[in-house]
Chains A and B, each alone.
Chain A
Amino acid sequence: MKPAAFDYIVADSIDAAVKALAAANGEAKLIAGGQSLVPMLNFRLLRPAILVDINRIPGLAFVEETTDAIHVGALTRHHRLETSPVIAEHLPVLAEAMRHVAHLAIRNRGTIGGSLSHGDPAAELPMLALLLDATLDIASPSGRRTVAAKDFFLGALTVDLAGDEMLTRIVFPRLPPSTGWGFAEVARRSGDFALAAVAATVSVADGVIKQARIAVTGVDETAKRADEAEALLAGQALTSERVDAAIAAVRAGVTPATDLHASSDYRRHLVGVLAGRALTAAWARARGDGA
């Protein structure tokens, strides 16, 4: 339970970090909060030759409002998102989700950029980035690019980041007017990874759903959106029949794994139940009869 030896570089800028990655030819890993990486190092599941520490890069931890979006720096710790008044006001579904991310000591250290770059298939933040149609700013020695969250998560622990690239900022568009949200998760113990979790937003106009967004985690290779369920809801009022149809579509759209914690069938059942709860809560909030 001790990591293999490595060399350690402290990066003082984004450019220094990505140049160090490029110079190491795939033998280096970035370390931010380290809350997923260090267990893998301690187990020697990973043996990078070099760790590039980005914790001391100035200006990489922030939550900022613009007219149309909330910008979050990649090094922003989970506890800051959990307690940010800006997030609570503008992205309350994200604030709620943060309460389910691990434990205080992990949230004090873990970062949003680290969680998204790690891409755990049962983590909350990839689901929230998908739900909220976030875009991700990525730096490399050759320049900058932006990728949509929906194109970023490629598979279990696999994301669209090259060996010399680093996630620097997450941009969450503001929620449309008359939007409610819901979040539902079941984990074996508080703070554990989700057996299944669902986050939803429902935007209402003229008494019907203008747009529903549903994202799930823990039930497939990556977090994902439930596109077919969303399509079933557009233009409709949320009747119990519509909820049932959406639940069936969510269940049909996932391929959960069986492991020690739960069977595939159980996870599929569960994600439907949670989707029903999240949608119902989102609808009630959008119509102003929740809070």
Chain B
Amino acid sequence: MSARAIRLTVNGVAHECTVEPRLLLSDFLRQTLGLTGTHVGCEHGVCGACTIMLDGDSVRSCLLFAVQADGAQVETVEGLGAIGRLNALQEAFHTHHALQCGFCTPGMLITASDLIKKYPLLSDDDIREGLSGNLCRCTGYEHIVRAIRAVAGKEDAP
């Protein structure tokens, strides 16, 4: 099937590539661009590990084809910060022990960024609801909720 040329910006860097239509955006990021921070778990939109920002909205990169991202602005976990200059949310994950094995962390960080942007997150229940599409098998979620709470602000009443 005929490959197509695409142009897109990933973490502020412009790329021009030729891709087969069936290439998932998740595989494009990891294998074509070498950005392995985006993790691939279930490949059918359930686990949330591959969540990235597409034009400012969190989306599953395993449910998009790279050809569909032609012209798009993509942000992955690599765009949030780096060792030595973590962003506030990454710092909070560090401080609150919000990761153990780290597999879910890129998706958690991107999801949390979008939740903080779009919802008031007045209660921890709102945060838990917002994280319900991201699976973590290590932490029991509690520390992830605390990390997001630290950045989102308002605490639950004691």
Interface set of A (CB-CB < 8 Å, partner B): 1-8, 31, 34-35, 38-39, 42-43, 51, 53, 55, 79, 83, 102-106, 108-109, 189-191
Contact = CB atoms under 8 A, between A and B. Distances in A.
A7 B20 CA distance: 9
B37 interface: no
Interface in B103-121: 111, 114-115, 118
B60 interface: yes
Query: What range describes how many residues of B lie at the interface?
Result: 20 to 34
B63 interface: yes
B19 to A, nearest CB: 10
Contact of A189 (B65, B118, B132): B132
B97 interface: no
Contact of B48 (A1, A4, A39, A105): A105
B91 interface: no
A288 B1 CA distance: 60
A148 to B, nearest CB: 31
Interface string B62-106: 111101100000000000000000000000000000000000000
15 contacts: A2-B24, A8-B21, A8-B65, A34-B63, A38-B45, A38-B62, A38-B65, A42-B44, A103-B48, A103-B130, A104-B118, A105-B59, A106-B45, A109-B54, A109-B63
Contact of B63 (A8, A35, A43): A35
B123 to A, nearest CB: 14
B44 A7 contact: no
